[in-house]
Amino acid sequence: MGDNDQLKDVFEAIADPTRRQLIRLLAEANAEAPLHELTKQFPMGRTAVSKHLAILKSAGLVLDRKIGRETRYRLNAAPIREIQEWVDDYSKSWSTNMKRLNQLLEEDD
């Protein structure tokens, strides 16, 4: 899978508000969290939360580990950093373009 495909998967994964909430909860926990604890935070069952976690996992945003019958989840922030870098690249470009536009507008005055 190419870098663009991976970014696409991450953007699709974070497009859903429930998945963004899961990311926030895992980031705040700063540790592994079991499925039953995460499920308490949502008005849906374990199966639905588990499906959201599976999407986050396939995008590389979440890592899981089985301990007995329990699955614990933790955030993998690396893909989020990649998005930040991608956005920063465009932000720099737009900033430069806006400065040029301002200069042109000032020259016309």
4-46 per-position pLDDT tens digit: 566 678 989 999 999 999 999 999 998 999 999 999 999 999 9
Other beta carbons within 10 Å of 35 = 16
42-91 pLDDT per residue, tens: 999 999 999 999 999 999 999 999 999 999 999 998 888 888 887 887 77
The CA distance from 34 to 38, in Å, is 7
Domain 3-108 has CATH 1.10.10.10: yes
Q: Helix, strand or coil for residue 80?
A: helix
Q: Helix, strand or coil for residue 42?
A: coil
Type of residue found at 77 = A
Residue 104 in tokens? 């042109």
Question: Where do the structural domains in the chain lie, given as residue ranges?
Answer: 3-108
User: Sign of dihedral through CA atoms 61, 66, 69, 72?
Assistant: negative
pTM here is: 0.76
